[in-house]
Amino acid sequence: MDINSVYETIENVKSDIQSVSTKDDLEEFRLKYLVRRGIIQQMFEGIKSASPEERPQLGKALNELRQTAQTLFDEKKRELEQSRTLTADKLDLTIPGRRRPIGTKHPVTQALDDMTTIFKSMGFAVALGPEIEDDFHNFEALNFPADHPARDMQDTFFLDETALLRTHTSPVQVRIMMNQKPPIRHIMPGRVYRNEAISARSYCMFHQLEGLAVDENITFAELKGTLATFAKKFFGSGVKYVFRPSFFPFTEPSAEMDISCFLCNGKGCRVCKQTGWLEILGCGMVDPNVLKAVGYDPEKVTGYAFGMGVDRTALLLYGIDDIRMLYENDVRLLNQFS
Protein backbone atom coordinates (compact mmCIF):
# COMPACT_ATOMS: atom_id res chain seq x y z
CA MET A 1 0.00 0.00 0.00
CA ASP A 2 1.39 3.40 -0.94
CA ILE A 3 0.35 6.93 -0.34
CA ASN A 4 -1.22 7.22 -3.77
CA SER A 5 -3.68 4.47 -3.11
CA VAL A 6 -4.77 6.41 0.00
CA TYR A 7 -5.40 9.55 -2.08
CA GLU A 8 -7.21 7.43 -4.63
CA THR A 9 -9.47 6.09 -1.87
CA ILE A 10 -10.23 9.64 -0.75
CA GLU A 11 -11.43 10.36 -4.29
CA ASN A 12 -13.51 7.17 -4.24
CA VAL A 13 -15.08 8.17 -0.95
CA LYS A 14 -16.01 11.54 -2.42
CA SER A 15 -17.58 10.07 -5.51
CA ASP A 16 -19.35 7.29 -3.59
CA ILE A 17 -21.05 9.75 -1.27
CA GLN A 18 -22.38 11.58 -4.34
CA SER A 19 -24.43 8.57 -5.33
CA VAL A 20 -25.92 8.08 -1.88
CA SER A 21 -29.61 9.06 -2.01
CA THR A 22 -31.35 6.73 0.44
CA LYS A 23 -30.80 5.41 3.93
CA ASP A 24 -29.85 2.07 2.44
CA ASP A 25 -27.21 3.65 0.20
CA LEU A 26 -25.82 5.41 3.22
CA GLU A 27 -25.65 2.18 5.17
CA GLU A 28 -23.81 0.57 2.28
CA PHE A 29 -21.32 3.46 2.35
CA ARG A 30 -20.83 3.02 6.08
CA LEU A 31 -20.23 -0.72 5.75
CA LYS A 32 -17.78 -0.13 2.95
CA TYR A 33 -15.64 2.48 4.67
CA LEU A 34 -16.40 3.08 8.28
CA VAL A 35 -16.77 -0.22 10.11
CA ARG A 36 -13.96 -2.18 11.71
CA ARG A 37 -13.68 -4.48 8.73
CA GLY A 38 -14.12 -1.66 6.26
CA ILE A 39 -11.62 -0.48 3.70
CA ILE A 40 -10.16 2.29 5.82
CA GLN A 41 -9.46 0.18 8.85
CA GLN A 42 -7.82 -2.37 6.62
CA MET A 43 -5.58 0.30 5.18
CA PHE A 44 -4.57 1.32 8.69
CA GLU A 45 -3.51 -2.30 9.26
CA GLY A 46 -1.29 -1.89 6.19
CA ILE A 47 0.87 0.74 7.96
CA LYS A 48 2.65 -2.08 9.69
CA SER A 49 4.11 -3.33 6.43
CA ALA A 50 5.25 0.13 5.30
CA SER A 51 8.84 1.31 5.74
CA PRO A 52 9.52 3.46 8.82
CA GLU A 53 10.15 6.55 6.62
CA GLU A 54 6.80 6.20 4.90
CA ARG A 55 4.75 5.62 8.03
CA PRO A 56 4.26 9.22 9.28
CA GLN A 57 3.07 10.45 5.88
CA LEU A 58 0.93 7.40 5.38
CA GLY A 59 -0.59 7.81 8.83
CA LYS A 60 -1.39 11.46 8.10
CA ALA A 61 -3.02 10.61 4.79
CA LEU A 62 -5.01 7.77 6.33
CA ASN A 63 -6.26 10.06 9.08
CA GLU A 64 -7.34 12.51 6.39
CA LEU A 65 -9.12 9.67 4.61
CA ARG A 66 -10.94 8.58 7.74
CA GLN A 67 -11.84 12.17 8.60
CA THR A 68 -13.19 12.82 5.12
CA ALA A 69 -15.26 9.64 5.05
CA GLN A 70 -16.74 10.33 8.50
CA THR A 71 -17.52 13.97 7.74
CA LEU A 72 -19.16 13.18 4.44
CA PHE A 73 -21.13 10.40 6.09
CA ASP A 74 -22.36 12.70 8.88
CA GLU A 75 -23.32 15.44 6.45
CA LYS A 76 -25.21 13.05 4.23
CA LYS A 77 -26.99 11.54 7.18
CA ARG A 78 -28.21 14.92 8.35
CA GLU A 79 -29.27 15.83 4.83
CA LEU A 80 -31.32 12.65 4.46
CA GLU A 81 -33.06 13.13 7.79
CA GLN A 82 -33.95 16.69 6.94
CA SER A 83 -35.40 15.80 3.57
CA ARG A 84 -37.49 13.14 5.28
CA THR A 85 -39.19 15.65 7.55
CA LEU A 86 -39.65 17.96 4.60
CA THR A 87 -41.58 15.31 2.70
CA ALA A 88 -43.67 14.59 5.75
CA ASP A 89 -44.57 18.26 6.12
CA LYS A 90 -45.25 18.82 2.49
CA LEU A 91 -48.84 19.84 1.87
CA ASP A 92 -50.79 18.48 -1.01
CA LEU A 93 -53.32 21.21 -1.60
CA THR A 94 -55.20 19.15 -4.14
CA ILE A 95 -56.33 16.52 -1.63
CA PRO A 96 -60.09 16.94 -0.99
CA GLY A 97 -60.89 18.19 2.53
CA ARG A 98 -61.93 15.74 5.19
CA ARG A 99 -65.63 16.08 5.94
CA ARG A 100 -66.48 16.64 9.56
CA PRO A 101 -69.00 14.11 10.80
CA ILE A 102 -72.27 15.94 11.30
CA GLY A 103 -74.48 14.98 14.24
CA THR A 104 -78.10 14.08 13.83
CA LYS A 105 -81.17 15.19 15.69
CA HIS A 106 -82.17 12.74 18.39
CA PRO A 107 -85.53 11.15 17.54
CA VAL A 108 -87.11 12.75 20.61
CA THR A 109 -85.77 16.17 19.61
CA GLN A 110 -87.06 15.59 16.10
CA ALA A 111 -90.55 14.71 17.36
CA LEU A 112 -90.55 17.69 19.77
CA ASP A 113 -89.42 20.05 17.01
CA ASP A 114 -92.16 18.83 14.67
CA MET A 115 -94.81 19.17 17.40
CA THR A 116 -93.56 22.63 18.32
CA THR A 117 -93.63 23.82 14.71
CA ILE A 118 -97.27 22.78 14.36
CA PHE A 119 -98.41 24.49 17.56
CA LYS A 120 -96.43 27.62 16.73
CA SER A 121 -98.27 27.80 13.42
CA MET A 122 -101.51 27.79 15.43
CA GLY A 123 -100.42 30.77 17.52
CA PHE A 124 -98.87 29.11 20.56
CA ALA A 125 -95.73 30.56 22.16
CA VAL A 126 -93.08 28.32 23.70
CA ALA A 127 -92.24 28.49 27.42
CA LEU A 128 -89.87 26.49 29.60
CA GLY A 129 -89.73 25.77 33.32
CA PRO A 130 -87.29 24.21 35.79
CA GLU A 131 -86.88 20.44 36.06
CA ILE A 132 -86.32 20.72 39.80
CA GLU A 133 -89.68 21.86 41.12
CA ASP A 134 -91.34 22.30 44.47
CA ASP A 135 -94.41 20.69 45.90
CA PHE A 136 -96.47 23.84 45.35
CA HIS A 137 -95.99 24.05 41.58
CA ASN A 138 -95.94 20.32 40.86
CA PHE A 139 -98.88 19.39 43.07
CA GLU A 140 -100.55 21.88 45.35
CA ALA A 141 -101.39 24.68 42.90
CA LEU A 142 -102.57 21.97 40.51
CA ASN A 143 -105.25 20.96 42.98
CA PHE A 144 -103.48 17.94 44.44
CA PRO A 145 -104.15 18.50 48.16
CA ALA A 146 -101.59 17.06 50.59
CA ASP A 147 -102.12 13.32 51.07
CA HIS A 148 -104.51 13.22 48.12
CA PRO A 149 -104.39 9.75 46.56
CA ALA A 150 -104.04 11.30 43.10
CA ARG A 151 -100.40 12.00 43.98
CA ASP A 152 -99.86 8.28 43.72
CA MET A 153 -100.55 8.50 39.99
CA GLN A 154 -97.07 9.97 39.70
CA ASP A 155 -94.24 8.24 41.51
CA THR A 156 -92.12 11.14 42.55
CA PHE A 157 -88.37 11.51 43.00
CA PHE A 158 -88.08 13.77 46.06
CA LEU A 159 -84.82 15.66 46.58
CA ASP A 160 -85.75 16.82 50.11
CA GLU A 161 -88.90 17.83 52.01
CA THR A 162 -90.17 20.13 49.27
CA ALA A 163 -87.85 19.93 46.26
CA LEU A 164 -88.59 17.24 43.70
CA LEU A 165 -87.98 16.33 40.07
CA ARG A 166 -91.09 17.43 38.24
CA THR A 167 -93.34 14.50 37.38
CA HIS A 168 -95.06 16.34 34.53
CA THR A 169 -94.79 19.63 32.64
CA SER A 170 -98.01 20.94 34.18
CA PRO A 171 -96.13 23.00 36.85
CA VAL A 172 -94.99 25.26 34.00
CA GLN A 173 -98.68 26.16 33.53
CA VAL A 174 -98.68 27.45 37.10
CA ARG A 175 -95.50 29.46 36.56
CA ILE A 176 -96.87 31.09 33.41
CA MET A 177 -100.23 31.95 34.94
CA MET A 178 -98.62 33.42 38.06
CA ASN A 179 -96.39 35.59 35.87
CA GLN A 180 -98.76 36.94 33.30
CA LYS A 181 -102.38 37.86 32.67
CA PRO A 182 -104.70 36.19 30.14
CA PRO A 183 -104.89 35.79 27.18
CA ILE A 184 -102.46 32.90 27.43
CA ARG A 185 -101.64 30.43 24.70
CA HIS A 186 -98.44 28.52 25.34
CA ILE A 187 -96.84 25.16 24.80
CA MET A 188 -94.26 23.90 27.29
CA PRO A 189 -91.97 21.10 26.15
CA GLY A 190 -89.56 19.41 28.56
CA ARG A 191 -88.22 16.52 30.53
CA VAL A 192 -90.12 14.90 33.36
CA TYR A 193 -89.13 12.24 35.86
CA ARG A 194 -90.97 9.37 37.49
CA ASN A 195 -89.75 6.71 39.84
CA GLU A 196 -90.94 3.82 37.73
CA ALA A 197 -89.44 0.42 37.12
CA ILE A 198 -87.41 0.68 33.93
CA SER A 199 -88.60 -1.55 31.12
CA ALA A 200 -89.02 -1.57 27.36
CA ARG A 201 -92.12 0.61 27.81
CA SER A 202 -91.24 2.93 30.67
CA TYR A 203 -88.23 4.88 31.77
CA CYS A 204 -87.44 7.05 34.80
CA MET A 205 -87.18 10.12 32.58
CA PHE A 206 -89.17 11.11 29.51
CA HIS A 207 -90.57 14.12 27.68
CA GLN A 208 -93.91 15.85 27.59
CA LEU A 209 -95.35 18.69 25.63
CA GLU A 210 -97.79 20.70 27.70
CA GLY A 211 -100.31 23.12 26.24
CA LEU A 212 -102.32 25.87 27.93
CA ALA A 213 -104.83 28.43 26.69
CA VAL A 214 -106.61 30.79 29.06
CA ASP A 215 -108.89 33.63 28.00
CA GLU A 216 -112.50 34.73 28.16
CA ASN A 217 -114.87 32.22 26.61
CA ILE A 218 -112.43 29.42 25.98
CA THR A 219 -114.42 26.22 25.46
CA PHE A 220 -113.96 22.48 25.35
CA ALA A 221 -114.86 22.65 21.65
CA GLU A 222 -111.81 24.81 21.05
CA LEU A 223 -109.66 22.27 22.89
CA LYS A 224 -110.97 19.46 20.71
CA GLY A 225 -110.57 21.50 17.53
CA THR A 226 -106.99 22.42 18.42
CA LEU A 227 -105.96 18.86 19.24
CA ALA A 228 -107.74 17.39 16.20
CA THR A 229 -105.95 19.89 13.94
CA PHE A 230 -102.65 18.99 15.57
CA ALA A 231 -103.25 15.25 15.18
CA LYS A 232 -104.04 15.59 11.48
CA LYS A 233 -100.96 17.69 10.83
CA PHE A 234 -98.67 15.47 12.86
CA PHE A 235 -99.95 11.96 12.11
CA GLY A 236 -101.52 12.58 8.71
CA SER A 237 -104.92 13.81 7.54
CA GLY A 238 -106.43 10.32 7.57
CA VAL A 239 -105.97 9.89 11.32
CA LYS A 240 -109.07 9.17 13.40
CA TYR A 241 -109.33 10.30 17.00
CA VAL A 242 -111.51 9.82 20.03
CA PHE A 243 -111.79 11.66 23.35
CA ARG A 244 -112.43 9.43 26.36
CA PRO A 245 -113.53 10.84 29.74
CA SER A 246 -110.73 10.72 32.31
CA PHE A 247 -109.59 12.32 35.53
CA PHE A 248 -106.86 14.80 36.43
CA PRO A 249 -107.00 16.91 39.60
CA PHE A 250 -106.19 20.09 37.66
CA THR A 251 -108.76 19.76 34.87
CA GLU A 252 -112.53 19.44 34.95
CA PRO A 253 -113.90 17.88 32.85
CA SER A 254 -110.89 15.79 31.83
CA ALA A 255 -110.28 13.56 28.85
CA GLU A 256 -107.69 11.43 27.17
CA MET A 257 -107.23 11.52 23.44
CA ASP A 258 -106.59 8.37 21.43
CA ILE A 259 -105.69 8.31 17.77
CA SER A 260 -106.24 5.43 15.38
CA CYS A 261 -103.11 3.27 15.37
CA PHE A 262 -101.00 4.50 12.47
CA LEU A 263 -99.15 1.20 12.27
CA CYS A 264 -102.19 -0.99 11.52
CA ASN A 265 -104.61 1.76 10.47
CA GLY A 266 -106.92 0.86 13.31
CA LYS A 267 -107.21 -2.82 12.46
CA GLY A 268 -105.46 -3.94 15.63
CA CYS A 269 -101.84 -4.97 16.09
CA ARG A 270 -99.27 -5.80 18.77
CA VAL A 271 -98.39 -2.15 19.29
CA CYS A 272 -101.95 -0.96 19.94
CA LYS A 273 -102.64 -4.20 21.83
CA GLN A 274 -105.27 -5.16 19.24
CA THR A 275 -107.45 -2.16 20.15
CA GLY A 276 -106.74 -0.13 17.02
CA TRP A 277 -106.15 2.95 19.21
CA LEU A 278 -103.14 4.65 20.76
CA GLU A 279 -103.41 6.99 23.74
CA ILE A 280 -101.37 10.11 23.09
CA LEU A 281 -102.38 12.72 25.63
CA GLY A 282 -104.37 13.88 28.65
CA CYS A 283 -106.37 17.10 28.55
CA GLY A 284 -109.27 19.03 29.97
CA MET A 285 -110.65 22.40 31.04
CA VAL A 286 -108.46 24.11 33.64
CA ASP A 287 -110.06 23.41 37.03
CA PRO A 288 -111.48 26.57 38.69
CA ASN A 289 -109.39 25.69 41.77
CA VAL A 290 -106.23 26.04 39.68
CA LEU A 291 -107.36 29.37 38.28
CA LYS A 292 -107.97 30.56 41.85
CA ALA A 293 -104.59 29.27 43.06
CA VAL A 294 -102.80 31.44 40.51
CA GLY A 295 -104.94 34.49 41.23
CA TYR A 296 -107.30 34.38 38.24
CA ASP A 297 -111.05 34.87 38.49
CA PRO A 298 -112.76 31.65 37.30
CA GLU A 299 -115.95 33.67 36.71
CA LYS A 300 -114.16 35.77 34.10
CA VAL A 301 -111.75 33.43 32.36
CA THR A 302 -111.70 29.79 31.37
CA GLY A 303 -108.96 27.68 29.87
CA TYR A 304 -107.94 24.35 28.55
CA ALA A 305 -104.76 22.35 29.03
CA PHE A 306 -103.24 19.26 27.53
CA GLY A 307 -100.13 17.20 28.08
CA MET A 308 -98.82 14.73 25.55
CA GLY A 309 -96.13 12.12 25.83
CA VAL A 310 -93.35 12.65 23.34
CA ASP A 311 -91.14 9.58 23.75
CA ARG A 312 -93.76 6.93 23.11
CA THR A 313 -94.97 8.81 20.07
CA ALA A 314 -91.38 9.01 18.77
CA LEU A 315 -90.94 5.27 19.34
CA LEU A 316 -94.08 4.50 17.38
CA LEU A 317 -93.31 6.96 14.59
CA TYR A 318 -89.81 5.66 14.03
CA GLY A 319 -90.54 2.00 14.74
CA ILE A 320 -88.23 1.68 17.76
CA ASP A 321 -89.49 -0.99 20.11
CA ASP A 322 -87.64 -0.25 23.35
CA ILE A 323 -87.75 3.14 25.10
CA ARG A 324 -84.34 2.48 26.70
CA MET A 325 -82.75 2.72 23.26
CA LEU A 326 -83.62 6.42 23.25
CA TYR A 327 -81.28 7.01 26.17
CA GLU A 328 -78.36 4.74 25.41
CA ASN A 329 -77.11 7.12 22.72
CA ASP A 330 -75.82 4.31 20.59
CA VAL A 331 -74.59 6.02 17.42
CA ARG A 332 -75.80 3.09 15.35
CA LEU A 333 -79.34 4.11 16.29
CA LEU A 334 -78.75 7.87 16.10
CA ASN A 335 -77.09 7.67 12.68
CA GLN A 336 -80.32 6.35 11.25
CA PHE A 337 -81.90 9.74 11.77
CA SER A 338 -79.61 11.78 9.51
Q: Give the binding site for ligand PHE (CB under 6 A).
A: 168, 170, 210, 248, 251, 282-284, 305-307
Please state, in angstroms and rounded to a whole number, the distance separating the CA atoms of residues 158 and 194. 10
Q: Least distance to ligand PHE from the beta carbon of 172, Å?
A: 10
Please state, in angstroms and rounded to a whole number, the distance separating the CA atoms of residues 39 and 26. 15
Q: Which is nearer to ligand PHE, 40 or 281 (CB)?
A: 281
Q: Which is nearer to ligand PHE, 156 or 251 (CB)?
A: 251
Q: Least distance to ligand PHE from the beta carbon of 283, Å?
A: 5
Cis peptide before 253 (omega within 30 of 0): yes
Q: Least distance to ligand PHE from the beta carbon of 248, Å?
A: 4
The burial class, CB within 10 Å (0-12 / 13-18 / 19+), for 209 is buried
Q: Least distance to ligand PHE from the beta carbon of 152, Å?
A: 13
Q: Which is nearer to ligand PHE, 61 or 164 (CB)?
A: 164
Q: Which is nearer to ligand PHE, 234 or 256 (CB)?
A: 256
Cβ-proximal residue to ligand PHE, closest one: 307
Q: Least distance to ligand PHE from the beta carbon of 111, Å?
A: 17
Q: Least distance to ligand PHE from the beta carbon of 251, Å?
A: 5
Q: Which is nearer to ligand PHE, 156 or 170 (CB)?
A: 170
Q: Which is nearer to ligand PHE, 249 or 266 (CB)?
A: 249
